[in-house]
Chain A
Amino acid sequence: GAGVSQTPSNKVTEKGKYVELRCDPISGHTALYWYRQSLGQGPEFLIYFQGTGAADDSGLPNDRFFAVRPEGSVSTLKIQRTERGDSAVYLCASSVTGDALSYEQYFGPGTRLTVT
């Protein structure tokens, strides 16, 4: 079956611009996660959705970052006034559910964001 998909695969933007990154989870997965991975490091948690609501957004670095999941499926990560330090690979993951056990999360290929 189809895995987690993310678009675009690469995004180059200028400092100060607004960007949107899209994630399409595995069909039927109710839990969705965003992580950020800088070069040479492990992924770092940003935000977790259970259904349509953000159950935990404690990893968002500041108020320039925002994410939505209006219909409980596709999610969009939005970054305002981008800075060079935002350059990283943004990873999306989904799992069967997030409200019982900690099920395994399946990751998408990521969006590589470069802020010039």
Chain B
Amino acid sequence: AQKVTQAQTEISVVEKEDVTLDCVYETRDTTYYLFWYKQPPSGELVFLIRRNSFDEQNEISGRYSWNFQKSTSSFNFTITASQVVDSAVYFCALSEGPERGNKLVFGAGTILRVKS
């Protein structure tokens, strides 16, 4: 069965600190897709990244980077030099693709608070 675990319920950091949000997933499929979404206080989910299971290259986008490790079933997200505007709830999600309806299975989310 599909499952996503975000063990960190809440993280507080001071501005400019680096922070890593953990995500561990379970799936029976060999082809799957992983996502990160941000939900700021306004409430709207914002897509950040999609990673395919067959592409283990790590990715960097500005202050954001993602570390995908199939061997440990993890897809962690690091924010470098955090800013107050990064404060939000971050969700990791898994999809097993079109054969399973492309539905996203979300983790419980990690609340990130960045203090000035």
Contacts and interface: CB of A to CB of B under 8 A. Distances in A.
Interface of A: 31, 33, 35, 40-45, 48, 55-56, 58-59, 89, 91, 93, 95, 98-110
B44 A110 contact: yes
Contacts of B97: 101-102
Contact of A45 (B4, B47, B103, B109): B103
Given A41-B108, A102-B98, A108 B103 contact: no
B108 A45 contact: no
Interface residues of B, number: 29
Interface of B: 4, 32-33, 35, 37, 42-47, 50, 52, 91, 93, 95-98, 100-109
Query: Interface residues of A: mostly helix, strand, loop or mixed?
Result: loop
A115 B70 CA distance: 43
A38 B103 CA distance: 18
Given A56-B101, A102-B98, A44 B106 contact: yes
